[in-house]
Structure 1
Amino acid sequence: MARAGYLTKGVVYVLIGVLAILAVTGAGSGAGEIGGPETAVRTIGEQPFGQVLLTIVGIGLFAYAAWRLVQAIMDPERAAFDGAKGVAKRIGWGVSGVLHAALGVAALQMAFEGRTPREGGSQSWVSEVLSWSAGPVLVVIAGAAVILFALYEIYRAWTIDFTRHLKITQMTPTERRWSIRAGRIGLFARGVVFVIVGAGIVEAGLNARPGEAQGVGGALRDIAQQPYGAILLIVVAIGLVAYGVFQAVESRYRRIPTRA
């Protein structure tokens, strides 16, 4: 399930990056193609045999969600040590599991009910939390946590610490070289995107405006609106494609314990 999940996540990220590149270069159907995982899922459903593809993707996303929840509860890789860092990792894995399960639900709903997944999930939960008495503080904390996660992804790209989870010795020299390149470029690009996502959530909490919160798609559209935005977006999109490729590498070469 873990390997199927990594591969499915990789397909989604490759598609996010490809759609953004096509939109910027004019080869796609316009700016509406710039989006996050929900846009990728919707695009899959619009292809020939879309129902079958969505079902496969939905199952794969559930598999990844299950693996993340196993990591959060049992830590089979012994990666979350005692202390605040270990707790943070477990919480992050759990949140990742819930988010990917929700995306899996959206894929299956589109496959069997024709319900089109839409972006805006960040705004929905931020709006709900802001209605609480301590809501603004909680939203700011959540945004700060996203930024810290993003910086950790960039740190992993810089230090290449992600290789400790891979069966490096089973790779050919060429596979090893390109896997490390894909991991570094992909993690860095994803970190940049999530810094923007986290900053938007923090602003939403500080200003009590849910509309300032955004997901991956919103972050990519923000990049496109900057000076030289088209070039910046293409660079980041290529990075997200690299991240998707790295997820496929993890699907094949990650060390996954056979028991907890």
Structure 2
Amino acid sequence: MDKKYKAIAKIGIFSKGLTYFLSGILTLLAALHLGGSTSGKSQVFDFIDKQPLGKVLLIAIALGLICYACWRFIQSFINPEGIQDNWKGKAERISYFFGGFVYLGIAFLAAKHLWSSSGESSSLSDYLSPSLMSILFFFIGLVLTVIAGFHIKQAYQKVFMKRFNIQDRTWHKAAKNAGYFGFYARAFVILILAYIFIRAAVYSGTNEVKGTKEAFSFLQDSAYGSILMGVSAAGFAAYGLFIILLARYRRFGD
């Protein structure tokens, strides 16, 4: 595969992993009452913005996430890894296409903190009718349910390790366990998000944009909330570490 595609992929994958890792760590600290807060992407970027050289880090992460979005578009249109041209392969490439737009949005969220002191944004309800909002939220809930199922399948069938080239390394088993934990935890949080979106579609007055922060808050408010939130947050951090490792040892099918 072309070296420039590999470079774009590795930079993007690393930025994605770092974002998930920080989100998990900040939420885990909140669950353990050691500071931090229930954290989504916006809260992660707000945290980075407040650090020394925060603006520089935000620029780097935003560019990295743009690289990841570009990698998804490359996978969708150019198909450098030779994804099969059957219905399953086409569905995979379509998912990469839409995933590219998702990460472009996250990159915009990171860049937004460069010129805005707050991560606040206008609500979709300012632009869409309640009925259209309900349809949109229900559709998002269904899509999230499918994504969660895909993560569970990847963990159960152990297919995610095929992306690695670390079989001869002593920490291979640790990386594999981090991947299991991370994929299951991410699937669990995504299922909660799916429930929140579908509930928002069914009940009036709940049409606010939802994200990871709301999923962790939902866990926190439930029975055994701190334990559930802590385990899920640790899983997010493990998923982030797994993705960061993937940036270094990713197998690109060549």
Q: Per the shorter chain, which TM-score range?
A: 0.7 to 0.9
Q: State the one-letter code of the partner of 2:152.
A: I
- Where does residue 154 of structure 1 map in the other structure? 152
Q: Percent identity?
A: 28
Query: SS in structure 1 opposite 2:230?
Result: helix
Give, in angstroms, the shift of residue 125 of structure 1.
7.6
- Would the alpha carbon gap of residues 6 and 193 (structure 1) be closer, same or farther in structure 2, given more than 3 Å must change? same
- Where does residue 239 of structure 2 map in the other structure? 243
Counterpart check, 1:63 vs 2:67: yes
- Where does residue 142 of structure 1 map in the other structure? 140
- Would the alpha carbon gap of residues 116 and 99 (structure 1) be closer, same or farther in structure 2, given more than 3 Å must change? farther
Query: 1: distance between equivalents of 2:231 and 2:203?
Result: 31
**What TM-score, normalized by structure 1, do the two folds share?**
0.85
Gaps of 5+ in 1: none
Report Cα offsets for 1:53-100 as digits up to 9, x if no partner. Answer: 1111111111111111212223322346422x4444233222221121
Query: 2: distance between equivalents of 1:115 and 1:155?
Result: 40
- Would the alpha carbon gap of residues 101 and 160 (structure 1) be closer, same or farther in structure 2, given more than 3 Å must change? same
**What TM-score, normalized by structure 2, do the two folds share?**
0.87
Query: 1: distance between equivalents of 2:146 and 2:126?
Result: 18
Query: SS in structure 2 opposite 1:188?
Result: helix
Give, in angstroms, the shift of residue 138 of structure 1.
4.7
Query: 1: distance between equivalents of 2:178 and 2:125?
Result: 33
Give, in angstroms, the shift of residue 107 of structure 1.
1.8
Q: 1:116 aligns with which of 105, 115, 118?
A: 118
Counterpart check, 1:54 vs 2:54: no
Contact 1:127 1:210 in 2 (8 A): no
Gaps of 5+ in 2: 1-7
- Where does residue 4 of structure 2 map in the other structure? none
Relative contact order, higher structure (CA 8 A, sep 6+): 2
Q: State the one-letter code of the partner of 2:106.
A: L
Aligned residue runs from structure 1 range 1-260, under 5 A? 1-29=8-36, 33-79=37-83, 81-83=85-87, 85-111=88-114, 113-118=115-120, 124=124, 128=128, 130-132=130-132, 136-169=134-167, 171-172=168-169, 174-211=170-207, 214-256=210-252
Contact 2:124 2:209 in 1 (8 A): no
Q: State the one-letter code of the partner of 1:77.
A: E
Contact 1:69 1:94 in 2 (8 A): yes
Query: 2: distance between equivalents of 1:214 and 1:253?
Result: 33
Query: 1: distance between equivalents of 2:84 and 2:197?
Result: 26
Query: SS in structure 2 opposite 1:76?
Result: coil
Q: State the one-letter code of the partner of 1:92.
A: S
Query: 2: distance between equivalents of 1:126 and 1:196?
Result: 25
Give, in angstroms, the shift of residue 202 of structure 1.
1.9
Query: 2: distance between equivalents of 1:105 and 1:40?
Result: 13
Give, in angstroms, the shift of residue 21 of structure 1.
1.4
Query: 1: distance between equivalents of 2:127 and 2:141?
Result: 14
Give, in angstroms, the shift of residue 16 of structure 1.
0.7
Contact 2:124 2:208 in 1 (8 A): no
Report Cα offsets for 1:138-161 as digits up to 9, x if no partner. Answer: 542331111011111011111111
Query: 2: distance between equivalents of 1:124 and 1:243?
Result: 30
Query: 1: distance between equivalents of 2:205 and 2:127?
Result: 8
Contact 1:9 1:61 in 2 (8 A): yes
Report how many aligned residue pairs link the two structures: 247
Query: 1: distance between equivalents of 2:89 and 2:125?
Result: 26
- Would the alpha carbon gap of residues 25 and 139 (structure 1) be closer, same or farther in structure 2, given more than 3 Å must change? closer
- Would the alpha carbon gap of residues 106 and 196 (structure 1) be closer, same or farther in structure 2, given more than 3 Å must change? same
Q: State the one-letter code of the partner of 1:188.
A: Y
Contact 2:125 2:208 in 1 (8 A): no
- Would the alpha carbon gap of residues 3 and 125 (structure 1) be closer, same or farther in structure 2, given more than 3 Å must change? farther
Query: 2: distance between equivalents of 1:149 and 1:4?
Result: 24
Query: 1: distance between equivalents of 2:74 and 2:200?
Result: 32
CA RMSD of aligned residues (A): 2.4
